[in-house]
Amino acid sequence: MNKMNNENTVFVEVLTNIFTVEKGKLKILLARKNTEPYKGYWELPNKILSNEETLEETKEKILEETIGTSNIYTEQNYTFSKLDRNPNNRILATSYIGLIDSKTIEIKNKKNENNWEWFTINELPKIAFDHKEVIENATELLKTKLVSANILKKLFPSDFTLPELQEIYENIMNKKLDRRNFRKKFINLGLIEDTGYKSEGRSGRPAKLYRFKETIKETYLF
């Protein structure tokens, strides 16, 4: 967000909280700032709304420029309007969450021209502006969404282990879950199927790989 030299103008920006899962870790996409203010800090992908575009169109443009596709699950979650959220201008921000799986990221393989980088949600770098508050708000919304099997499937469309799945829930819900009960619950719900393949587990022992079934009923998990 650069200075725009319009003292009496109120701007609107779009912020995107793009989440993915990698090896059981929930991650978010950030960009390093190379200009003041907050030079060297990290921020959420963002754009100022133009007079010719809607919020949705601006959001889709951000997604195309960062991850190479706008064809992912997104949802608008909050508008931030504190008077001091930007030191140079009066800027309101509308925040979105977006979910993309790691396999799609590999396929798109966008050239990193803007210092985009994925960070584990619990190990964030120095964050510019009020974007830490925005991320916390988006994470809280995601916590409520991950009780839905269909939302979880968007983060895990391909092979995963049950420990990876459990770790995501523990990170989001900030509490430990019983391994046996978690495993039993997911298998008994009939939402996932054994792929017949195995992956090296954390103890070095092979772990079964599962995937969500092609068609599943809307089910609330917790």
- Look up residue 104 and give its two tokens: 């799609």
**How confident is the prediction for the chain on average, in pLDDT?**
89
Model confidence at 216, in pLDDT bands (50, 70, 90)?
confident
Model confidence at 146, in pLDDT bands (50, 70, 90)?
confident
For residue 76, give every residue at least 6 positions away whose Cβ sits within 8 Å of its Cβ, in sequence order, or none: 55, 94, 95, 96
Percent of the chain with pLDDT over 70: 91
- Domains of the chain, by residue range, sit at 10-145, 149-212
End-to-end CA distance of the chain: 39
Q: Characterize the bridge pairing of strands 73-80 and 90-99.
A: antiparallel
Fold of the domain built from segment(s) 149-212: Arc Repressor Mutant, subunit A (1.10.10)
pLDDT of 102 over the 80 cut:
yes
Helix axes 162-173, 131-145, angle to 10 degrees: 120
User: Quick check: helix, strand or coil at residue 10?
Assistant: strand
pLDDT of 117 over the 70 cut:
yes
What's the pLDDT at 118?
A: 95
CB 11 within 8 A of CB 91: yes
Q: Would you say the pTM of this structure is higher than 0.75?
A: yes
Residues 41-96 have pLDDT tens digits of 999 999 999 999 999 999 999 999 999 999 999 999 999 999 999 988 999 999 99
In CATH terms, 10-145 corresponds, of 3.40.50.2300, 3.30.365.10, 3.90.79.10, 3.40.50.720, to 3.90.79.10
Query: What is the distance between the alpha carbons of residues 203 and 144, in angstroms, rounded to a whole number?
Result: 31
What's the pLDDT at 178?
A: 93
Cα–Cα–Cα angle for 48, 138, 130, rounded to 5 degrees: 55
pLDDT of 203 over the 70 cut:
no
> Which ranges of the chain does DSSP label H, i.e. alpha helix?
55-66, 102-108, 131-145, 149-155, 162-173, 179-189
Query: What is the distance between the alpha carbons of residues 106 and 95, in angstroms, rounded to a whole number?
Result: 25
What's the pLDDT at 23?
A: 83
What's the pLDDT at 107?
A: 63
What's the pLDDT at 56?
A: 98
